[in-house]
Chains A and B, each alone.
Chain A
Amino acid sequence: MEKKELYLTLFRSTFFLSMFTFGGGYVIVPLMEKKFVNELGWINEDEMLNLIALGQSAPGPIAVNTSILIGYRMAGVPGAMITVLGTILPPLGIMTVLAYVYLAVRDNAIVNNVLLGMQAGVAAIIVNVVYNMAMRIIKQKKIIPILVMIAALIAGIIFQVNILWLLLVSALIGLAMTLYNLKMKKDEGDIK
């Protein structure tokens, strides 16, 4: 395939997915999978699943991360630059316009009433998200993650500890657990 054509398809695919997909990363990423695995056939299913897992391991929006990985996989650093642009340009345009509409109509009584109603809806969405995420941790029935979650909840809400400290401490706990598990596996291997 010609390079120019590859770049163009990368840009077009990520741009349209970002432009027309409602619901954020968790909806966009499966559609990226469909586009690049099933429609274009550029990446095989297993590799795509690994890329998605990798995108979720990195900090930042997962749709952005996954698009960078796809671009990098297909065309190196230039590819990554193209897909990240394709992903962020549509929201950049849409939200800039919306920001001005918002400024113009925010004080309108009816708009205010609509937004007041939506606030309760958004509160319900967040509570639902947190419930689902917390249940996933609890269902693993592992004591350390549950303790970390409770400790972080208390530290964050009651003591208002800085988020970066909470992340650092829990990352260190994650690191210690991983190294411990790796060592256990290695020891088991040695005994055998």
Chain B
Amino acid sequence: MIFLSLFLSFFQIGLFSFGGGYAALPLIEQELIHAQGWITNQQFIDILTLSEMTPGPIAINAATFSGNQIAGVFGGIIATVGVTLPSVIIVQIMAYFYFKYQNLTVVQGIIQGLRPAVVALIASAGVTIFMTAMFGRSSWPVDIAEINWISVVFFAVGLFLMRKYKASPIQVILITGLAGGIVYSLL
């Protein structure tokens, strides 16, 4: 039953993504690409690209979009509800205790402990995204001859714009998209 597994996958993604939208990426990769085989690396990057470009929380955007890709409109709704439900339950329980005791030292201590691991996990999803963008795939080993040099240049320009001129993600996406539309079409 596709809708049930879709719901469970996204419930799990919502339940274990600590630290906002980017923290959901490694879980989306593990669940949707590797465990279920519902989407490809390319689709994964497209989902992230479109989620960054549209308004709203990135994780919700990604859930609705991938749910739609996997199982149509109803799939999109199921995925969105699935990814939101853990928040609805857990945040209200935390809020109840917070307003009662005004103290969540232990909970926040655990989260502090999670943060370095979350950074590492996002980095690991980042490797997949980087390899796919540069080589068209993320499986090892890669042959340096397969590298897409135009991508390398776009990547370097994007990084430079963000670090030097504090360009926003959406600006970087629009610039590299425009450049891609021109450069690749002329080749």
List the interface of chain A (C-beta within 8 A of B): 18-26, 28, 50, 53-65, 68-69, 72-73, 77, 80-81, 84, 87-88, 90-92, 94-96, 98-100, 102-103, 106, 109-110, 112-130, 133-134, 137, 145-146, 148-153, 156-157, 162-164, 166-167, 169-175, 177-179, 181-182
Contact = CB atoms under 8 A, between A and B. Distances in A.
B4 interface: no
A94 B184 CA distance: 28
A170 B183 contact: no
B20 A134 contact: no
Given A95-B65, A170-B113, A24 B52 contact: yes
Contacts of B90: 58-60
Interface of B: 14-22, 24-27, 30, 45-46, 48-61, 64-65, 68-69, 73, 76-77, 80, 83-84, 86-88, 90-92, 94-95, 98-99, 104-127, 129-130, 132-134, 150-159, 162-163, 168-170, 172-173, 175-181, 183-185
Given A18-B55, A18-B56, A22-B170, A133 B88 contact: no
B50 A117 contact: no
B120 A153 contact: yes
A87 B134 contact: no
A42 to B, nearest CB: 15
Contact of A156 (B84, B104, B124, B156): B124
Given A125-B173, A137-B116, A163-B30, A120 B83 contact: no
For B95, B121, B155, the residue with the greatest tally of chain A CB atoms inside 10 Å of its CB is: B95
B110 A174 contact: yes
Given A24-B20, A153-B123, A95 B117 contact: no
Nearest to A55: B91
A56 B107 CA distance: 11
A109 B94 CA distance: 49
Contacts of A133: 118-119, 122
Contact of A60 (B84, B154, B176): B84
A17 B83 CA distance: 20
A119 B105 contact: no
For B27, B69, B129, the residue with the greatest tally of chain A CB atoms inside 10 Å of its CB is: B129
For A24, A64, A157, the residue with the greatest tally of chain B CB atoms inside 10 Å of its CB is: A24
Contact of B129 (A50, A114, A126, A149): A126
6 contacts: A54-B104, A102-B69, A115-B46, A122-B45, A157-B127, A178-B105
A146 B49 contact: no
A21 to B, nearest CB: 5
